[in-house]
Structure 1
Amino acid sequence: MKIRKATPRDAEPASLVLRRSISELCVRDHENDPLILQSWLTNKTPEKFREWAEAAEDFCCVAVGDQGAILGVAYLARSGEIRLNYVSPDARFQGVSGALIAAIEAEAMRWGLTRLFLKSTATAHRFYLERGYRDEGAPETDRLRDSIYPMAKPLDYRGRLGNKA
């Protein structure tokens, strides 16, 4: 597997990975409710992915398998917000999400960021805890999902990842 910066040419397969990951792996969060599922999938289109891939100020990356298939997608905004980290159901538990987060964290350090933050689903919450992210306050609820976990991970002044919140 290789992690590389996303390109507009990745739009079709990457958006499919996003849609499949949400539909098939995040059932705990959307419970197959069509309204909730649709709200998650609305912007997971090839057109929107092209925008993410072309956003010069941000970092969108993909994990690519040995055969060239896109296995996962991640997106880091210049603000330090991790906006995407999704893996293909076909590549689950193969280290793809961890490799994507490592790439995101490395890019954040190159940018000189001091903190990363995100809003985790219930499905991914443990994944982030295991990688040093910590809850920032109580879980939030929105009108469509039960729990959204605000989380953060500090980066220390020497550019290394911190493990304390």
Structure 2
Amino acid sequence: MQIQEAIPEDAPAACIVLKRSIAELCEVDHRNDPFILAQWLGNKTHENFCSWVNQTDNSVLVAVEDQHVLAVGSVTDAGTIGLNYVSPDARFRGVSRALLRALEMRAAEKGNSRCNLTSTETARRFYLSNGYVENGSPVGGFGTTSGYPMTKALLGSIGKS
């Protein structure tokens, strides 16, 4: 498996990973509610993916194995992780952890001393086990009621925080 910069041509496979990850792995968050799923999945389009890839202040990375996209992640130049989704077929193989490390490295390269994110209930334990701490009251998003603001100090980085 390797982690690389996403390109617009990754959009079809990346969108499938995003949608499957949310629909199949995040049931505790969306509770199989069609309204919540529609809200959450609504922006996971080829056009939006390409716009995320082309944003100058955003890095989109994909984990790829045998030319198959296994996971999709993004981090802004300000150190905010916006995406970290893994295909259900690649869950528990270390793919999310490797992608998270790459996103954190990118944030540090951009001068950040911290990474921030909002975790789902599904991923909360994952982020806590990777050094993130909760940083505020839970918030909702896409119709869910459980989003956990989290932060992590990046070791060895010098920057703007």
In the alignment, which residue of structure 2 is the partner of 1:91?
Answer: 90
Aligned counterparts, 1:112-151, within 5 A: 112-141=111-140, 144-151=143-150
AA at the equivalent of 1:159? S
Cα distance change of structure 1 residues 23 and 105 upon mapping to structure 2, 3 Å threshold: same
Cα distance change of structure 1 residues 89 and 154 upon mapping to structure 2, 3 Å threshold: same
In the alignment, which residue of structure 1 is the partner of 2:59?
Answer: 59
Question: In structure 1, the residue corresponding to 2:57 is in which secondary structure?
Answer: coil
1:92-117, Cα deviation, whole Å (9 max, x unpaired): 11111101101001111111101110
Question: In structure 1, the residue corresponding to 2:139 is in which secondary structure?
Answer: coil
Q: Distance in 2 between matches of 1:141 and 1:54?
A: 27
Question: In structure 2, the residue corresponding to 1:93 is in which secondary structure?
Answer: coil
Q: Which has the higher contact order (CA 8 A, sep 6+)?
A: 2
Q: Distance in 1 between matches of 2:139 and 2:57?
A: 28
Alignment RMSD, CA only?
1.4
Which structure 2 residue ranges, 5 or more long, are not aligned? none
AA at the equivalent of 1:132? G
In the alignment, which residue of structure 2 is the partner of 1:73?
Answer: 72
8 Å contact from structure 2 (residues 21, 86) kept in 1: yes
Q: Distance in 1 between matches of 2:59 and 2:3?
A: 12
If each structure's strand is expressed as a fraction of its own residues, which one has the higher value? 2
Query: Percent identity over the alignment?
Result: 48
Which structure 1 residue ranges, 5 or more long, are not aligned? 161-165
Cα distance change of structure 1 residues 142 and 53 upon mapping to structure 2, 3 Å threshold: closer
Q: Could you tell me how far 1:143 is from its partner in structure 2?
A: 7.9
Q: Could you tell me how far 1:125 is from its partner in structure 2?
A: 0.3
Q: Distance in 1 between matches of 2:102 and 2:85?
A: 14
Cα distance change of structure 1 residues 143 and 19 upon mapping to structure 2, 3 Å threshold: closer
8 Å contact from structure 2 (residues 63, 70) kept in 1: yes
* Structure-2-length-normalised TM-score: 0.93
AA at the equivalent of 2:127? Y
How many matched pairs? 158
1:36-82, Cα deviation, whole Å (9 max, x unpaired): 001100110111111111122211000001x2100000010112110
Runs of 4 or more off by more than 6 Å in structure 1?
none
